[in-house]
Amino acid sequence: MKQFFLASILAGALALPAVAADYTIIAPANPGGGWDQTARSIQSVMQAEGISGNVQVQNVPGAGGTIGLAQFASQSAGNANALIVGGYVMVGAILTNKSPVSLNDVTPIARLTGEYEAIVVPADSPLKSMGDLVEALKKDPGAVSWGGGSAGGTDHIAVGLIAKAAGVDPTKINYIAFSGGGEALAAILGSQVTAGISGYGEFESQIKAGTLRLLAMSSPERLPGIDAPTIKEGGLDVVVENWRMVAAAPGLTDEQKAAVSADIEKLAKSAGWQETLKTKGWTDTYLAGDAFKAQLAKDVSATQAVLKDIGLVQ
């Protein structure tokens, strides 16, 4: 009888669902930008889908995410409950800032989203089209100021590629970097810069409200639901897609890494996440495991080449 009760208790324990892990996610930028939106979207969906009972987001802004990355790598070693979001912008910032900490110092888990760049101007700007903006850029590169994310990030790279394609020396561009999407948006709306560049999702509400004019998208072809031509349609052979990823702390065991990877896979395949992608206008670019590791190495190499080409890295 004693053995029967022990067996019953053990069977009952095995039948219980595993306790969902709590997570803390570092968003290495100020509130309002793409990384912050990504982290808070992960937070919301993980909790709503029961993947995690409690998810906290902490903003650690500065230097294109490299300050948050360095803090994360040094303070979270071995902590399977710690995550950080990053992506293409961080790859560029690591190179341009000569950061001593790189993505090799954390545990990349998966690429989650992709997003094309939107080029906007204030609604009352005299620039009515991408052609107008390019004409002004050719006339006096320094007189055209661009407001975007961190130096060396996707926005900066895109502006450099636009300048190069237009026959303008990329080192002459007047690029003003902001560490958070909210700050950049305020500068654009206040006409403190000529034009703004970022992911479409960061401008969508202002575009729909009529306070910003969308000039072009950096996609290879027009995107459904977005009323704007591509940069290519304006005669410049430029296509740029930002992407965002999630990484875990360094020093995890294989079991810990597998558990985190499983939770992120559940997130990426959940109905809540798919709905978030639609709402935000993000492309599903989920890629994990060795395939993501190999792609990340290629992206780092390609980014370095682009940054050298446009004069941002020696």
Model confidence at 8: pLDDT above 70 = no
Q: Mean pLDDT in the chain?
A: 91
What pLDDT is recorded for position 14? 44
Percent of all residues in the chain with a pLDDT value above 90, rounded to a whole number: 78
Residue 14, judged by CB atoms within 10 A of its CB (0-12, 13-18, 19+), counts as exposed
Angle in degrees, 0-180, between the axes of helices 34-48 and 271-280, rounded to the nearest 10: 150
Mean per-residue pLDDT for 245-258? 98
Mean per-residue pLDDT for 250-261? 97
User: Binning pLDDT at 50, 70 and 90, where does residue 19 land?
Assistant: low
What pLDDT is recorded for position 138? 97
Contact call for residues 89 and 64 (beta carbons, < 8 A): yes
Which pLDDT tens digit goes with each residue over 101-148?
999 999 999 999 999 999 999 999 999 999 999 999 999 999 999 999
Mean per-residue pLDDT for 276-289? 92
Contact call for residues 138 and 165 (beta carbons, < 8 A): no
Model confidence at 16: pLDDT above 80 = no
Residue 156's φ and ψ, nearest 5 degrees, are: -65, -45
